[in-house]
Amino acid sequence: MATEKRSKFDIRHKEALRLCLREYFELFFPDLAKIMRFDTAKFLDKELIALFGEPKGRRKEKDQQRLTDALILIQIDLNGTLEWILIHWEQESKRKGGFEERMFHYFCGIYFKHRKLIFPIAMFTDPAKWRKPITKTFNISLLQYPVNEFTYRLIKLKDYKAKEFEDLAGKNPLAAAYLPLTDYPKRDRPVIKAKAVRGIAKMPTGPKRATLFSLIQESIPLNKSEERKYQKLIQTDPFYEEVKMLQSIEEVGMERGLELGLEQGLEQGQILTLRKIAKNLLQSRKLTQKEIVAVTGLKPGEISKLARTLTS
Structural domain for 124, as ranges:
2-54+63-159
| Least confident piece of the model among 63-67, 77-81, 200-204, 208-212 | 63-67
Quick one: 257 and 139 in the same domain? no
Coil, helix or strand at residue 153:
strand
Which DSSP symbol is given to 133? P
116 vs 26: CA distance, rounded Å:
23
Quick one: 132 and 12 in the same domain? yes
Structurally, the chain folds into a number of domains equal to 2
How many residues are recorded in the chain?
312
**Is 301 among the domain residues?**
no
Quick one: 175 and 196 in the same domain? yes
Quick one: 69 and 133 in the same domain? yes
Q: Which has the closest alpha carbon to 71: 21, 1, 31?
A: 21
Give the model confidence (pLDDT) of 147-188 as tens digits: 999 999 999 999 999 999 999 998 999 999 999 999 999 999
Contact of 258 with 208, CB cutoff 8 Å: no
Quick one: 23 and 108 in the same domain? yes
**Is 15 among the domain residues?**
yes
Q: What is the mean pLDDT of residues 48-68?
A: 54
Quick one: 74 and 134 in the same domain? yes
- Give residue 78's region: left, alpha or beta (phi > 0; psi -120 to 50): beta
- Give residue 63's region: left, alpha or beta (phi > 0; psi -120 to 50): alpha
Coil, helix or strand at residue 297:
coil
Quick one: 227 and 103 in the same domain? no
Which DSSP symbol is given to 188? G
| Least confident piece of the model among 44-48, 139-143, 185-189, 230-234 | 44-48
Coil, helix or strand at residue 161:
strand
Give the model confidence (pLDDT) of 74-100 as tens digits: 999 998 999 999 999 999 988 888 899
The model's pTM is: 0.78
Instruction: Look at residue 50 and tell me whether its pLDDT is greater than 80.
Output: no
Contact of 198 with 220, CB cutoff 8 Å: no
- In the prediction, which pLDDT does 26 show? 98
Quick one: 105 and 124 in the same domain? yes
232 vs 238: CA distance, rounded Å:
11
Residue 236 Cα distances to 159, 196, 241, angstroms: 32, 17, 9
Q: Which amino acid, one-letter code, is at 311? A: T
